Structure 1
Amino acid sequence: MAAEGAITDDGPARADSGRARALLTRLQRLTLQLGQALSVEDVLEVMVTTVGEELAADFVSVWLLEGPDPRTLRRVRDVGVPSDVMADWDAVADDERWPLAWALHHHELVEWSDREERRTRFPAVPEDSIRHEAHLVAPLAVQGRDLGGIVFGFAEPRTFDPEQREFMRAVAGQCAQALHRAHLHERLTTERERAEFRAGVGQVLVRSLDEQQLIKQLAEMAGPSLADACVIATVGEEGQLHPVASAHRDPTKRALLDQLVALQEPVRNPYLLKAIEAGEAVVLPTVHPHTLDDVTLSAEHRELLDRFGATSAIAAPLRAHDETHGVLVVVNTSEDRQLTDEDVSLVDSVASQAALAISNARAHGHVRELSEQLEGALDSRVVIEQAKGVLAERYGEDPETAFDRLRHAARSSHESIHVTAEAVLAGRVRP
């Protein structure tokens, strides 16, 4: 211990302590902003702006493991990246020849101070894809689950000292935690919305016994809730598929959807017909150009399809009691909405509910039609009996002879017995 009044050279220690406090303050500030971001989009925005500014990076790019291939890193947000550089770089393979994949596999930072060092460490990276000198690549992982990575680029060569590396590890950890929380929040929100949607659909389908009305209401609900657009087609008496209702969440595309539906009369879409024939949902995770080739009917139709811009779709048969009534089709027209197994399950569930409701509505319609026929037959019988009585009294005949007279008059006038009987009662006919 130094004696009281002794002169000590503690300048470097104070400088290190001050720098550590500054880094801690910056980390706390970033943690606060990330904690206030509830959605994934909000978290990504903080990552590419605030985090990048704190590190004085010239560009920031965030890549996540998502999409159809769970081991493909996809670029989801960036700032400061030249558009011509990243135009062909929307995804990279899970291959350690790429810095992102290496960082994620080893759960370690990847850094290089200039292009020459990068060429030595990662020669597989195309030369024209890297415009900046120094880079820092941090993996994003939480609770043993890999999420992706974040890349920082610097225009000038530079090195990173141990404190800066430790700061970056802490920042990456906070970013991963924020992304994880945001994903959980969005999933819980989605599950709640789906539960509310199921309940709403159930109420609509139970309340209505009018087939056309319930189909129209279902399309209006399913359009914005299940995807971007919805089309419902039913099987006619001749066995062909006819579109009967459609809806789109975007009013500007509603008219375009109506035009497409009008050209599909009757429906000849092979994917919809396949769903009907197979009795199970047909899922198109991605609508490719060759997919459009399969459904195109004419040059006009193809032009409308291109403008509509479908990105994914599900066609689920409306099947109940071993009978297929039609097909429920939901379509996404935004790259931001990707199909999940939960989406397919929900569409299947709604299609099953709708099929039962259609069966009930049709059964109710048949009963009502039969009842009306029986009532009509009963009314007709009453009129005929009254006319027989009038004729029997008028001509002093028995009921059978009076009925023969009424039947002969009907044949002579080419009218039904019921119409002739009404004419007799009204005094217009005297057979």
Structure 2
Amino acid sequence: MTLQEQELAAVFAQLAGAAARDPLDTQSLLATLVEGGRLLLDAPGATVHYAPGRESGRTEGTDPALRTLAGDAAQWREGPGYDVRTTGRALIDVDVSTPPMRARWPRWTARARSLGHGRITALPLPAKEGPGGALVLFGAPDSDLDEKALALARTFADAGAHTLALQREVVESRVLAGQLEHALTSRVVVEQAKGIVVARRGLSSDEAFAGLRSYARAHRRKVADVSRDIIDSRDVPGDW
């Protein structure tokens, strides 16, 4: 394996490692994504804007100035990251110093040029429901695009998008599992309380549940909370 191949393997391994962290950390994954993209394209810097679906957007950059630019651009709804994220179409080797680009992204272009960046390549990070984000790779004004490096960066961006999507699915699955567990626990508590009410008041199961629900509404409480009180006291409230 050559040194270049070793470095390439290391970049992809870092992406996989960031995705496997527990608890899941999307921001660390984005930081790995921008740094890996920068290395693959031998770019002076990189930013990412990731906002899949209706989620609030996240931004990251390879240095503090670019992190600030990425965050400001997301608020401005301007710049290559925003355009690629919303359209899903890549921008390859764009000279940001041209009049059309200055007119298209006035605030973003002025800031980027003040930081010494003259060319950009922005790659989409698709999400399951459509455009999810964009990886923006910066180049010097007189830099030449390396097609082989670009191909690797495209592959890396696709891998990053897939990894981010899998991470979202894991998070959503954990949230759903927690909700189901809570619902099941609440159901068990209510059933136990119903049994106590049936025994103490001689009611049917349906009548006991109706009483629980009516009492909870009258006291502006949850049925499960009232049920826990009944289980703890092993009795029915006196004002039932």
TM tier relative to shorter chain = 0.7 to 0.9
Paired residues of 1:420 and 1:429 also in contact (CA < 8 A)? no
Alpha-carbon separation, structure 2, partners of 1:221 and 1:401: 63
Q: How many residues align?
A: 232
Which residue of 2 is the match for residue 318 of structure 1? 125
**8 Å Cα contact 1:384-1:421 kept in structure 2:** yes
Residue 264 of structure 1 aligns to a residue whose secondary structure is helix
- Please identify the structure whose Cα radius of gyration is greater: 1
In structure 2, do the counterparts of structure 1 residues 312 and 356 end up closer, same or farther at CA, with 3 Å as the change threshold? same
Contact 2:216 2:226 in 1 (8 A): yes
Secondary structure of 2:137 counterpart? strand
| Structure 1 residues 285 and 194: alpha-carbon distance in aligned structure 2, compared to 1, 3 A threshold | farther
Q: Does 1:328 align with 2:143?
A: no
Distance 2:182 2:111 in 1: 49
For residue 373 of structure 1, the aligned residue among 174, 179, 189 is 179
1:322 positional shift: 6.8
Say whether residues 1:347 and 2:153 are aligned partners.
Answer: yes
Q: TM-score, normalised by structure 2?
A: 0.81
**Does the aligned pair in 2 maintain the 1:204–1:217 contact within 8 Å?**
no
Q: Is the 8 A contact 1:197 1:225 kept in 2?
A: no
Q: Taking structure 1 as reference, are residues 269 and 341 closer, same or farther at Cα in structure 2, changes over 3 Å only?
A: farther
Counterpart in 2 of 1:64? none
* Pairing 1:402–2:190 present: no
Cα gap change, 1:372/1:386 in structure 2, threshold over 3 Å: closer, same or farther?
same
Q: CA deviation at 1:425?
A: 2.5
Q: Within 2, Cα distance between the matches of 1:336 and 1:194?
A: 26
**Which amino acid is 1:316 matched to?**
L
1:207 aligned to 2:13?
A: no
CA distance in 2 between partners of 1:318 and 1:267 (Å): 20
In structure 2, the residue corresponding to 1:288 is in which secondary structure?
coil
- 5+ unaligned residues in a row in structure 2: which ranges? none
Matched letter for residue 44 of structure 2: D
Correspondence for 1:235 among 48, 51, 56: 51
Q: Which residue of 2 aligns with 1:388?
A: 194
2:163 corresponds, among 345, 357, 375, to 357
SS at match of 1:222: helix
- The equivalent of 1:183 in structure 2 is none
Which of 1 and 2 has higher RCO (CA within 8 Å, sep 6+)? 2
8 Å CA contact 1:215–1:245 kept in 2: the answer is yes
Extract structure 1 runs of 4+ deviating beyond 4 A. Answer: none
**Is residue 2:227 matched to residue 1:414?**
no
TM-score (norm 1): 0.48
- Structure 2 equivalent of residue 258 of structure 1: 67
**How do residues 23-422 of structure 1 correspond to structure 2 at under 5 angstroms?**
191-192=4-5, 195-204=8-17, 207-208=20-21, 210-226=25-41, 227-238=43-54, 242-248=57-63, 254=64, 256-266=65-75, 268-276=77-85, 278-290=87-99, 291-297=101-107, 304-319=111-126, 323-332=130-139, 334=140, 337-422=143-228
8 Å contact from structure 2 (residues 52, 127) kept in 1: no
Question: Contact between 2:8 and 2:40, CA under 8 Å: does it hold in 1?
Answer: no
> Residue 281 of structure 1 contacts residue 348 of structure 1 at CA under 8 Å; is this kept in 2?
no
Shift of 1:218: 2.1
Given residue 245 of structure 1, which amino acid in structure 2 is its aligned partner? E
> Would you say the 8 A contact 1:313–1:331 is kept in 2?
yes
